[in-house]
Amino acid sequence: MKRLLFIFFFCCVLIIATFLMFGDLEQWMAVNLHSEKSIATYTCLSFSFMALDTLLPVPSSLLMILNGKILGLFWGTLMSWSSSLLASVFGFYLGRSANPYFDKFFSGQDKAFSNNFFQKFGNLAITISKALPILSEAISFVAGTTAISFKTFLLYSSLGHLVVSVIYAYLGNFSNTINSGLVTVMVIVSTVIIGWVVQKILKYKQKETNT
Q: Which of 44, 47, 54 is nearest to 79 (CA)?
A: 47
Contact (Cβ atoms closer than 8 angstroms) between residue 159 and residue 198? yes
Angle subtended by helix axes 73-103 and 39-51, to nearest 10: 20
SS (H, E, C) 91-128: HHHHHHHHHHHHHCCCCHHHHHHHHHHHHHHHHHHHHH
Which residues are CB-contacts of 150 (< 8 A; sequence separation ≥ 6)?
92
CA–CA dist 211, 207 (Å, integer): 6
Q: What is the pTM of this model?
A: 0.74
Report which DSSP code applies to 106. Answer: S
Residue pLDDT tens, the chain, 211 long:
566 667 767 777 776 776 666 656 556 666 666 655 677 778 888 888 888 877 776 777 788 888 888 888 999 999 999 999 999 999 999 888 888 887 777 777 777 777 787 777 778 788 888 877 778 888 888 888 888 889 989 998 998 899 889 888 888 887 655 555 555 555 556 555 655 565 565 565 556 555 5
